[in-house]
Structure 1
Amino acid sequence: MQLETYISDLLYRYECVIVPEFGAFLTQRVSAKINADTNTFFPPKKAISFNEQIQQNDGLLAHYVADVEKIPFEIALEKIKKRVVSIKSQLVEKESISLENIGELALNEEGKITFEPFNHLNYLTDAFGLNIMVSPAISREEYKQEIESIEKVIPLTFTPERRKTRPYLRYAAIAVLALGLSGFLGSKYYVNQVENHNQIAQETANTQLEHKIQEATFVIENPLPAVSLTVTKPVGTYHIIAGAFRVEENCEKIVSDLKSEGFNARKIGVNKYGLHQVVYDSYEDRKEALNALREIRRNNNPHAWLLVKDLK
């Protein structure tokens, strides 16, 4: 079983992928960086880390494996468990485990799992198509020295004698300045005229609109009483599954019983096996859903599990 392939697929969409009884692979967004020494531009990415302490099964990985391989959820859990046992045995034998496109796992002297991520794959979908770019350095000082050397060979100066021999240049400059000033003033006057015209047109349009509204205003002598309806639409991507039933009538009874116990229970439709699914509740926040799942498993249903799915 290529477990790393399924983990890699989920890392594109989720910030945490838990491998039951082993650990969790976490992602964190890292902003774009520039290495001034090498003139290298690095695009934004997802940095991958591993936390051995997070081992509580949230159903995400097993549910994905079951969907891809078209097998029941329980069989997917069993396959993941066998793969985890194999990885742990290899680590105990002092062998490093290389997970394709994810990173390398090993045991340190204290018996803790160490993780070294691979950086050749970017899991941030927003940065798709952006690669590392190296830009040549800009040599501004070299151009400055080149210009200074040219000025030494060809000095750009004006002598007083030339200015005396060409007095018409002074008058031409004065004429250009006068034309520019008159053009600026004329342009400013034109802009002011346009703004005044637009303001007058806007005021006229507003007056006509108010007049039309007044003509269309009417009063109902006996208006109908207002009716207020409160509609609550369940939202959330994380759903705690209470059970799946072949007969839909059984769902109604379960939903009624769970609601009497204080849960926001409801039916969420038929899964790919033709079973009608009932949930305790749905959540938008992943941590809140996991806390609720642990509480339900402890007090109500030890077989409850978490479904991660956007319901249409």
Structure 2
Amino acid sequence: MKIAGYIADLLYEYECVVIPGLGGFLTRDHAASVHPLKHYFKPPFREIVFNPLLRTNDGLLLNHIARSEQLSYQDAKGRLDRFVLKCISVMEEGKRISFRNIGSIYYNKDQQLVFEPDETQNYLAESFGLSGFVSPPIKREEFQQKVEKVFSKPPLNKTEPLRTPHPETDPNPIVNKHRHIASRRPSRLKKQLLIIGTAAVVMFAAWAIMNKHTVQYYYQNYSGYASLVPMFYASPNEFMIRHMDKIPLEKLIIDQKLPEKARISNLLRPASNDLVPAKPYQAPLEETSKEVETNELENLPAADSADIFDDFEMQDSETSDEGVAFESTIVSEIVSSPVVVSVPTEKPQVKKFYIIAGAFREKQNAEKLIRELKTKNFESDYAGQTSGGLWRVCFESLENEQQAMLRLQAIKKNENENAWLLVI
């Protein structure tokens, strides 16, 4: 039975709550107060005191207990009597009886009942939510100190009245030394723009911090686009060298107007006699050399096949679109020759799928990560460099896209959720 809780509920509404056979709790309301030395402001509060002489049953506590516990009046009285007898026996042993949020009672050396209230609890409903606080004193100057402060200052020098100078009539004109200089007021627009710019930078920085994975993804995949801007290079030659692979040299060579005799003489140069005879095939002039096929091109000597392009500067490139178009023009000119020439078709490039673990500016950090991944039984290795100079490190590389996707999901689940797939 929660006797302390029932007593606390009644103290908010009643001035006296009696425990029959033990004593009564009385309340006294106090106004707000200020401690003169500690400068502590205390809100209005209700003080709780205990009177051991009030032992007569007034029925207030018993009715409240019976109503809350859903008991009869006699059952509630029996429980309360047993509680009082137990409290008296405990206090006679020298112990204290503590009522939660109310206080504690005990016998002192003179066998007198003493009550210590709980000062942290305020039972005044009008002061709900108010708490005490400490405020430093306000220092004010007295009238005498103000007078002494004024008279302690030195007197101001009286200046002569200013006169307008007349250089013709006045031999000693008075020149006004205190000239007013016009000053420009600070622009409100500049101040507002500065505030808006600062707020935008702060918001962008906060967004970048909260979405660091997204920022890292864009930095790793799109940082190379800055290399397309010429102003980021020290000289035009450096820009040309960096983008040499994007210049269509084959198209420029085709567009050159070379003498036809020189072109035919180079093309009709006699080859070796190791060629296997093949049936002549008349191809239309509009078709490209991809339609003219032969299996005997491999028997041509390397030196003779290179002589066909002596007068042209061809660039060895990985792409075959421009190269095929160039060679088809040559074949169309000599289609009447009994020697059938074709260009070998380009073998399909095998794609490799790299599961990237990270990218590092320093190569030492990349090597460290490779060693760590190898200790975990990963076939870790470098996956090239980004256009920004970062060293990519992969968990492993595969040639099957489906297997690569399955391995990526497993690595994201068990090892690194930030892993991603690079296709080269």
TM-score range, shorter chain: 0.3 to 0.5
TM-score when normalising by structure 2: 0.35
Which is higher, the Rg of structure 1 or of structure 2?
2
TM-score when normalising by structure 1: 0.47
More strand by share: 1
Instruction: Answer 1 or 2: higher relative contact order, Cα 8 Å, separation at least 6.
Output: 1
